[in-house]
Amino acid sequence: LFPTMLLLVYVVGYVLAAASEIWAIKEINYNFYAQVPTLSAMMLNSYWPIQALIYWRVRQTQEPPERDGFPWYAYTVLGFSAGSVSTLRSIGINELDGVIYVICSNTEVIFSAVLSVLVLKKRLNVYQISAVLLVLGAVIFAVWDPSRPGLGSAFDKARDSEHGQASHAQTMFIAGVTSTLASRLLSALNSILAEWFLGKNKKSTWCVQELPLVTAIVPSVLLPWSLIITKENTAEWGKLTRSDAPGHAWGLIYFILLALSMAKLVDRQCKMNIIAEKSAVFFEGVDAMMKSVAGLGAYVFFYNIEKVDTKWNDFIAMGVIVLALGLTTYGEQVEKRREKYEQKFTLEEGQLRSPLLEGGGEDN
């Protein structure tokens, strides 16, 4: 009972923490009229000093994992990928409405399923394949809509100089969708690689605490350098503190930025523990649930803004994704039962063969 309750705590903690990250960034977009993807990514990874203390404590109290040395190469790869995920995800959240962002970000279920087959050599059953197809259909149904500045009409209008303003909106929409899809691909790869790197040490407390640390330190070193290219700090950061900004409050913006850091700490802690206890595919189902909560929350919290571009097909797409979530969870349970049956059958077959081999040896 206790492991089940602990897993439930991890799931609820992840859903609330990860959803609040999206709401915090949309608060900056809508109430401060600022787009700060690099600053958001920097704050999301700034929790690493606290994580370093947690890891130090774990090293003092827990048994080390069974491995040869520290996996510097593997963790460096994960760190670079995590930094890219944070940046691309921030761009997607900044450029898209909350509802359409969470719909596009559910493509992580598709990427995770494909990568689990290619990297982990897992098999997908009919329920998991159905879930992947449903998510793919839902995303296309929501995004490819000529009535909004989207992919359905973007390429035609982008060539029309008479629609300069529309072309800019469509370009930003394409940038948001592309960044979101790329971030979800890298995020799925991170989850799969985390499970693969951990291997037999999957449940080791050392490893579970190392992953949130290295995936925050590397981005924290690299992201400030991107400001030289983007000039975001000179173009957008001033909007957060100018005295005439609607909804301006010094305390509020500092609270939001601090909340991003603390939410990501809880997010990564829960994520790594869920993967350790279950699997990367199971986590993607939890992540899909989180995105549904985040999308509905964004629509409610920022209704006056979100209602303008949110269409009826967006809610249908979210409903289909929730159905896919159920299929993913059930498919995971079916796959676990199949694996246990195969292990039992192999064991029983080995026990039956053993006396026959012994008898054969005596005859010879």
pTM, 2 dp: 0.75
Q: Looking at residues 325-332, what average pLDDT do you find? A: 76
- Cβ pair 223, 45 in contact under 8 A: yes
**Residue 47 confidence (pLDDT):** 93
**Residue 358 confidence (pLDDT):** 56
Distances (CA, A) of 164 to 86, 91, 174, 210: 30, 22, 15, 48
Residues 6+ apart with CB under 8 A from 252: none
Rounded CA-CA distance 246/238 in Å is 13
- Cβ pair 195, 279 in contact under 8 A: yes
Residue 313 has pLDDT above 60, yes or no: yes
- The closest of 325, 352, 290 to 22, measured between CA atoms, is 290
**Of residues 143 and 103, more confidently modeled:** 103
| Residues 260-289 pLDDT 10s | 999 999 998 998 888 878 777 678 778 877
Residue 236 has pLDDT above 80, yes or no: no
Q: How confident is the model at residue 189 (pLDDT cuts 50, 70, 90)?
A: confident
The least confident of 56-60, 222-226, 321-325, 345-349 is 345-349
**Residue 15 confidence (pLDDT):** 93
Q: How confident is the model at residue 16 (pLDDT cuts 50, 70, 90)?
A: very high
- Cβ pair 89, 161 in contact under 8 A: no
**Rounded percentage of the chain residues whose pLDDT exceeds 90:** 10
The least confident of 14-18, 156-160, 169-173, 187-191 is 156-160
Residue 2 has pLDDT above 70, yes or no: no
**Residue 51 confidence (pLDDT):** 93
**Residue 76 confidence (pLDDT):** 83
Residue 162 has pLDDT above 50, yes or no: no
Backbone angles phi, psi at 353, to 5 degrees: -75, -30
Q: Looking at residues 118-136, what average pLDDT do you find? A: 80
| Residues 20-77 pLDDT 10s | 998 998 888 888 788 888 888 889 999 999 999 999 999 898 888 777 667 777 788 8
